[in-house]
Structure formats: structure tokens, C-alpha cells
Amino acid sequence: MNQNYNKIPLAIVTGAASGLGFELALLLARDGYELILIDVNSEKLQQAKEKIEARYATQVQLLHKDLSKPKVAESIVQSIEDRAIDVLVNNAGFGIYGSFHETDWERQAAMLHLHVITTTHLTKLILKKMVARGKGKILNMSSLAAFQPGPLMSLYYASKAYILSFSEAIANELKGTGVTVTCLCPGQTKTCFQEVVSNGCSASDNKIKFNIACPKQVAAYGYEAMKKGKIVAIPGNINKLLSKLPRLVPRRTATAVIRRIQEKNRAV
């Protein structure tokens, strides 16, 4: 075995084909990490690999995986064999718009499995080895949505709240181990997220253009927070204020405000 095999840091990024996942992969490649990139879109994943390797002299391995499927975390760990993971970025995710009782259950279940089960299981499998080695960093992608209920995207908001709570709890457990967990909670960001939420419909673009962040800037903010071992990272002063909305006004009022925003954003 090459003696440098375990000396070059290695990072896993899920949802790496585009958006924040791709931007985070670029930052890791810039800093000398080898990459294992995971996404359900094999074509965009290959394009991401080519773009990264064109800019940085690093090795990029691709895993075409649907992270909403059962036991996918186990298959990922089996694919990487005994390689030591220095950074895990749980970025993959999607949203569903519509009233809870009217939206498709199969798609809802897939989203919950991705956000909750796969994120948790992959973290558990990788974390055990990180703790044993006494080093490692995990970046979990939550959202500003984690801080309040979200009518018309109820399960998305709830699942992001789970990721935030889970990340904060295990970050506390890991004090003194050499392993840190950071939860990135961005607000509206200019990615393909809204198109997926709206399932490609004509109302896929946000109608509220205020406070939409650049994915490069959000990724850079989250990446620096991860390197520093910060537990919760909320990019932007406006978003920091919005995260406190349920504390500043009655939760019922905050929930009504969120519903109005959702309806306005997706008005045809």
C-alpha cells in the first residue's frame, strides 16, 4: 500500500453534483482533500468531478447513490472500505411544497428517509471511526427553516429542525474527542432547490427576491465555521434575526408569517 494513502485527508460530500454540495467540494479540493462525491444525478456528478479536477490536483471518486433508499449508508461505508474519513458533509436534501394531507406520501417518505435516517446513519457509521482516531469534522446541512414550523412545507421544516437538534446534541457529546459537528443553517440561497421543491413547475423561482444568498458565499461561511468547530452557523445578519423570530413574536404569528412567505414565493 502507498505510504501516503492515509496521509492525504479524505472528505465525503453528499448531494455534491450541484449547489452548496458542489461549492463545498471545491473548497475541500482547494485545501488538498481527496473527495468522495455522492449524488443521485450521475450526469451532473460526472460534470462536477471534471470541473473540480480541472482546477485542482486531487483525486475524486464518485458514488451514484439514491440517499432516500434503505440501507444506503451501509453501502456507502462498504464502498469506501477501510479508508479514514477526515470530513463528512451531509448536504443532500430536497423539499416538498403543498398541504401535508395532499402531497404524495412516497415522496414525503423519501425526503424523511434522506434527511433523517440516512443523515443520521451515515453520521453514526463515520463518527465511530473518527472518535477512535481522535480527529474529524462533520458538517450537517440544516436550514433557517429549522427554527420555526413551516406550513405548506411542514415535513421539510420539521426534518431540518431534527438535523439542527441532532447536530447540537452530538456536538456536546463529542467535547474533548477531537471530533466536531457543525450545523449550517442558510436562508434562501440561489440554487436549484426551488425547482425541486416545486417539482419543475412554472412557479419554481422564488417570487420574493429579498435576502437570497450566493451559494459560494454560503458554502465559504459554512466551511470556515466547520474548520473552527462552530456548532451552529447561520450566514447573514438578517437570517440570524429571522432565526429568533419565534422568540420575538408568538409562535402562532411566526407560523402565519412563514405560510404567507411560502404562498407568495410560489404564486403563479
Residue 266 has pLDDT above 60, yes or no: yes
pLDDT band of 201, cuts 50, 70, 90: very low
Q: What percent of the chain has pLDDT over 90?
A: 75
94, three cell numbers:
430536497
Residue 168 has pLDDT above 60, yes or no: yes
| pLDDT at residue number 255 | 87
| pLDDT at residue number 2 | 41
Q: What percent of the chain has pLDDT over 70?
A: 89
Q: Do 168 and 230 touch, CB atoms closer than 8 A?
A: no
- pLDDT digits over 12-25, tens only? 999 999 999 999 99
Residue 8 has pLDDT above 70, yes or no: yes
| pLDDT at residue number 189 | 80
| pLDDT at residue number 262 | 83
| pLDDT at residue number 198 | 45
* Among 32-41, 79-88, 101-110, 238-247, the least confident range: 238-247
Residue 245, phi then psi, degrees to nearest 5: -55, -45
| 109-118 average pLDDT score | 98
> Residue 140: which of 218, 88, 77 has the closest Cα?
88
Residue 204 has pLDDT above 60, yes or no: no
The span from the CA of 137 to the CA of 86, in Å, is 6
Active-site residue (options: 33, 97, 156, 223): 156
Per the annotation, the verdict on 5 as an active-site residue is no
Q: Do 216 and 20 touch, CB atoms closer than 8 A?
A: no
What structural domains and CATH numbers belong to the chain?
A: 10-265 (3.40.50.720)
Go through 212-231 and write b for each residue having 16 or more CB atoms within 10 A of its CB, e for each that does not. ebebeebbbbbbebbeeebe
State the number of CA atoms in the 13 A half-sphere of 187 facing the CB. Answer: 19
The span from the CA of 171 to the CA of 165, in Å, is 10
DSSP string, 220-250: HHHHHHHHHT-SEE--SHHHHHHHTHHHHS-
Query: Which residue carries 421539510 as its cell?
Result: 156
- pLDDT digits over 124-159, tens only? 999 999 999 999 999 999 999 999 999 999 999 999
Mean pLDDT of the chain: 90
Residue 205 has pLDDT above 60, yes or no: no
| pLDDT at residue number 6 | 54
| Burial zone of 250 (CB within 10 Å; 0-12 exposed, 13-18 middle, 19+ buried) | exposed
> 132 in the Ramachandran plot: left (φ > 0), alpha (ψ -120 to 50) or beta?
alpha
pLDDT band of 257, cuts 50, 70, 90: confident
Residue 7 has pLDDT above 90, yes or no: no
First to last CA, the chain: 58
